[in-house]
């Protein structure tokens, strides 16, 4: 990693700790592709880098993100007086965002039915799925929860919202709380790290903290075992929570408060109708 990239990432990490790794991955790719100092990188190098990403089958949203990161990187150094490529010459092609299908209550039940509690790791899967479905928490926020955030007498905890760094409270059911208290007893025997959920290396060796990628694998594996053809991701639970709130008589303001949206329009984004829901809603207005 070149010194210019490291200095930029150190600055970026002062207000978003995950940026160091996420931004670094893309900037290092650009550095290796171009093989030049930032002063010598031109428009042709940026275009070539984008084409290289496309030819190596990177997803459109990943390429869009990489171009945003590269543009911000050059903007940073231009503002610091470096004679490098103008960020205005780095074009970011907009792509269509992934349409996350919400998980339904029936699909949630199918996933739960696939979890047989044979050991600690199965128990952890159960707690993860229950918390994702009941709280609508982001997967990164779930992985950041620590043991000390869970209180025996409280069926809620306060987390830091990833996008806005604001604090918000998430709530879960009595049944989940009973299981969570039992899980804590087993969890504290695994290792002394502060994280509520831990990963594992191999079959049994625990790691310090469960990663978001591991949660994705858990959900994918359970979906296959449950025979669910629809693609279920951790974010599907967040969409599912929004739909569940509406199904139980809630409104967009409830969705905004429970999911921790600052912008009310974000709450409507999570209420994308699937075909069945759309048909049901459309027929309401035929009379």
Q: Indicate left, alpha or beta for 202 from its phi (over 0: left) and psi (-120 to 50: alpha).
A: left
Res 207: pLDDT: 83
Looking at residue 228, its pLDDT comes to: 93
Whether 160 and 233 map to the same domain: the answer is yes
- Domain assignment of residue 145, yes or no: yes
Report in angstroms the alpha-carbon separations of 142 from 71, 214, 261.
31, 12, 17
On whether both 189 and 70 belong to a single domain, the answer is no
Looking at the structure of the chain, the number of domains it has is 2
For residue 35, is it left (φ>0), alpha (ψ between -120 and 50) or beta? left
26 near 62, Cβ under 8 Å? no
Q: Is residue 282 part of a domain?
A: no
133: domain CATH number is 1.10.443.10
Reply yes or no on whether the pLDDT at 287 is more than 70.
no
**pTM confidence score:** 0.67
Estimate the crossing angle of helix 234-247 against helix 252-259, to 10 degrees.
140
In contact, 139 and 216? CB cutoff 8 Å = yes
Q: What is the pLDDT of residue 86?
A: 94
| Domain housing 233 | 105-275
Query: Within a 13 Å sphere around the CA of 235, how many CA atoms are in the beta-carbon half?
Result: 10
| 42 plus 135 within the same structural domain | no
Same domain, 164 and 189: yes
Q: Quick one: what percent of the chain has pLDDT higher than 70? A: 85
pLDDT score at 62: 86
pLDDT of residue 125: 96
Q: What is the pLDDT of residues 61-71, one digit of tens each?
A: 888 989 999 99
Contacts of 252 (CB under 8 A, 6+ apart): 264, 267, 268, 271
Check whether residue 46 and residue 172 sit in a common domain: no
Tokens of 277: 């829901």
Residue 193 in contact with residue 209, Cβ under 8 Å? yes
pLDDT tops 50 at residue 126: yes
Assess whether 143 and 63 both reside in one domain: no
Judge if 34 and 118 occupy the same domain. Answer: no
Whether pLDDT at 148 is above 90: yes
- Are 217 and 125 contained in the same domain? yes
Verify that 109 and 84 share a domain, yes or no.
no
Q: What pLDDT, on a 0 to 100 scale, did the predictor assign at position 271?
A: 54
Confidence of residue 98 (pLDDT cuts 50, 70, 90): low
Residues 268 and 205 in one domain: yes
Rg (C-alpha) for the chain, rounded Å, is: 22
């Amino acid at each position: 990693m070149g010194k210019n990239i490291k200095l930029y990432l150190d600055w970026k990490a002062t207000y978003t700790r995950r940026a160091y790794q996420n931004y670094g991955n893309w900037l290092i790719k650009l550095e290796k592709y171009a093989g030049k100092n930032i002063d010598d990188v031109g428009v042709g190098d940026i275009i070539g880098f984008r084409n290289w990403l496309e030819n190596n089958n990177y997803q459109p949203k990943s390429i869009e993100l990489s171009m945003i990161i590269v543009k911000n990187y050059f903007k940073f150094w231009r503002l610091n007086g470096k004679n490098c490529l103008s960020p205005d010459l780095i074009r970011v092609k907009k792509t269509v965002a992934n349409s996350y299908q919400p998980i339904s209550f029936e699909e949630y039940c199918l996933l739960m039915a696939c979890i047989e509690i044979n050991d600690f790791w199965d128990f952890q899967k159960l707690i993860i799925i229950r918390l994702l479905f009941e709280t609508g928490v982001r997967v990164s926020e779930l992985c950041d929860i620590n043991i000390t955030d869970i209180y025996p007498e409280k069926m809620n905890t306060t987390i830091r919202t990833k996008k806005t760094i604001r604090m918000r409270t998430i709530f879960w059911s009595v049944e989940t709380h009973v299981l969570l208290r039992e899980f804590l007893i087993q969890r504290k025997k695994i290792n002394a790290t502060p994280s509520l959920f831990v990963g594992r290396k191999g079959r049994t060796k625990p790691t310090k903290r469960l990663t978001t990628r591991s949660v994705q694998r858990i959900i994918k594996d359970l979906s296959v075992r449950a025979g669910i053809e629809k693609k279920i991701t951790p974010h599907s639970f967040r969409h599912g929570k929004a739909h569940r709130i509406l199904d139980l008589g809630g409104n967009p303001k409830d969705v905004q408060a429970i999911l921790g949206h600052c912008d009310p329009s974000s709450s409507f984004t999570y209420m994308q109708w699937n075909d069945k829901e759309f048909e049901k809603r459309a027929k309401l207005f035929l009379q």
